[in-house]
Structure 1
Amino acid sequence: MDEKQPLPISHPPARPEPSRPRRAVMSVFLRATVLALLILFVLFFPTGIESRSLVAWDPATEQTEDAGAQTAITEQKKVPLEAHIMSKCPDALDCLQLLVLPTMVEISDRIEFKLSYIGKPTDHDDGVECKHGETECLGNMIELCAADKYPDPKIYLGFTYCLTRQYQKIPERHMIQDCAMEHGIDFARINDCLTQDDGGYVADLLQASFIRSAEANVSTSCTIRLNEQVRCIRDGGEWKDCPAGSDRDSLIRDINKLYQELNGA
């Protein structure tokens, strides 16, 4: 397991205003990598990828008995659960595999889930800096575009986990192709997101995600926050700062308790 130091955080940087000059000078490496991916996807998928199986867990297990019951569920307040990760971090894999996904499988209907990313907004090049280099920034962008175009966690979280299982290969085309097909993602939509405004749109998404993590005082991948509070950290292959437990059952217990409190049960 690679040793890693948390990215230093002092005061969260002011949210930068989108600027045409910054977008115009987007990192040459990043732009070339994105364009290379796009060319390959256009060659192999000129009409996009047809939707197939969407989820890492079976949504049928969460369907309600009737439309009235479904309406009642949607009116309930959900518990915020957030994972702060880096796309090429081995601890992100452990975090998703051992805690986040098993919890979502059981009680996703009670959770308002969000993935955020850890890095540094900058005022040069493409406006972002990632611990594991430009390929990690691109991996973050691909995953953010998936969440942007497919906001249902059953789709984008499954896709992200699929990539994270082979994080060393990000952003190799065949892996992204397979994960997109497995989770019903049309990569033409991801392409549109990556290239929108000459890459400025997704760069702004990533900057905003970095700023969100910084404002939450999160600098270690992977940090799990429950109801806006740090619940557990996976760092260096170990669980840290998990006073309420680092297993699925303890997290489910805490989510159920918060859910009942939020909904007066």
Structure 2
Amino acid sequence: MDAKTPLLPSTAPQTPPEDPMPPRGVRSRLARFHAAAFAAIIGLFFLAQSFQCQDPSHNHQEAAKVPLEVHIMSKCPDARDCLQKLVLPSMQNVSDKVDFKLSFIGRVTHDDDGVQCKHGQTECLGNIIELCAASVYPDPKIYLGFTMCLSRSYEDIPQKSLLEDCALEHGMDFDKINHCVSQDDGAFAMGMLRESVERSAELNVTKSCTIRLNNEVRCIRDDGAWSECDDGSKPEDLIHDINKLYKEASGWSE
């Protein structure tokens, strides 16, 4: 009986059928369409990211900063206690929410365009040094720490060793501060002191230390005691008031 030879599958490589290729003009238009769509998707992605990462307070921060001004005398124990017990602990928590200013108390002498200070001319020089520190290093976190350092040893102001030690402690270049003090034969620094003293006088501030919040007297430290601190004299009290004013100025609700 004749046997039929089985048919074996072909071992030749099979070429898959090619996808139909659109005409060149169509391909060009499709490529441009895909590129535009991809760019649009990327643009929407980054736009969404910007909204997600945006700080909601960014548009309010400058307008929302609350004025906080402290009036002191550099060689005054009440200034030391005021800074140490209330101002610095508060600033450590809300420094980004306040427009801080340090002003000085004295008396302008109109006959010689000078300034008299309660604790003598060494206090006037201490005031000038602290004003120069604020001028050269305008970040309150720096110059306020320097001022506090001097206040702890206020009896020794303006001994050079104290000034240099406090400058070193707070990463400040003492030569820059000294240059400010001596600039224009001292006229530049004396002008800053006179302006600061005149500001305190115009605001009827006479006691060191007087804290003014949002342009109103918030608390006074005088003769070793607090006064006119109706909303409290502890850091948490001042922090609470600053946060409240900051939110109100920003248009935020409690």
Kindly state the Cα deviation for residue 69 of structure 1 after the two structures are TM-superposed. Answer: 3.6
**1:121 maps to amino acid:** V
Measure the CA separation in 1 of the matches of 2:199 and 2:184: 22
Q: Aligned runs of 1:32-111 on 2, under 5 Å?
A: 68-69=54-55, 72=58, 74-111=61-98
Measure the CA separation in 1 of the matches of 2:144 and 2:56: 22
Mean alpha-carbon deviation: is it higher for 183-192 or for 214-223? 183-192
* Structure with bigger gyration radius: 2
Kindly state the Cα deviation for residue 74 of structure 1 after the two structures are TM-superposed. Answer: 4.5
Distance change in 2, residues 1:234/1:264 (3 Å):
same
Equivalent residue, structure 1, for 2:207: 220
Distance change in 2, residues 1:67/1:163 (3 Å):
farther
**1:163 maps to amino acid:** L
Measure the CA separation in 1 of the matches of 2:157 and 2:130: 11
The answer as to whether partners of 2:61 and 2:250 remain within 8 angstroms in 1 is: no
Q: Relative contact order (alpha carbons < 8 A, sep ≥ 6): 1 or 2 greater?
A: 1
1:120 aligned onto 2:107: yes
Kindly state the Cα deviation for residue 82 of structure 1 after the two structures are TM-superposed. Answer: 0.8
Equivalent residue, structure 1, for 2:153: 166
The answer as to whether partners of 1:193 and 1:202 remain within 8 angstroms in 2 is: yes
What is the SS of the residue equivalent to 2:221? strand
The answer as to whether partners of 2:97 and 2:246 remain within 8 angstroms in 1 is: yes
Calculate percent identity across the aligned residue pairs: 61
1:146 aligned onto 2:112: no
Measure the CA separation in 1 of the matches of 2:56 and 2:148: 28
Root-mean-square deviation (CA, aligned residues, Å) is 1.8
Equivalent residue, structure 2, for 1:132: 119
The answer as to whether partners of 2:220 and 2:229 remain within 8 angstroms in 1 is: yes
Distance change in 2, residues 1:197/1:254 (3 Å):
same
Equivalent residue, structure 2, for 1:247: 234
TM-score (norm 2): 0.75
Equivalent residue, structure 1, for 2:186: 199
Kindly state the Cα deviation for residue 195 of structure 1 after the two structures are TM-superposed. Answer: 1.2
What is the SS of the residue equivalent to 2:232? coil
What is the SS of the residue equivalent to 1:193? helix
Structure 1 runs not aligned, ≥5 long: 1-65
Count, aligned residues: 200
Measure the CA separation in 2 of the matches of 1:160 and 1:67: 37
**2:105 maps to amino acid:** I
What is the SS of the residue equivalent to 2:186? helix
The answer as to whether partners of 1:126 and 1:203 remain within 8 angstroms in 2 is: no
Kindly state the Cα deviation for residue 123 of structure 1 after the two structures are TM-superposed. Answer: 2.5
Equivalent residue, structure 2, for 1:211: 198
Measure the CA separation in 2 of the matches of 1:68 and 1:176: 42
Equivalent residue, structure 2, for 1:258: 245
**2:234 maps to amino acid:** D
What is the SS of the residue equivalent to 1:87? coil
Equivalent residue, structure 1, for 2:168: 181
Deviations 1:163-221 (A, max 9, x none): 00100000111111110011111112112211111111111100000011011110000
Distance change in 2, residues 1:191/1:70 (3 Å):
farther
Picking from 134, 139, 142, the partner of 1:155 is: 142
What is the SS of the residue equivalent to 1:239? strand
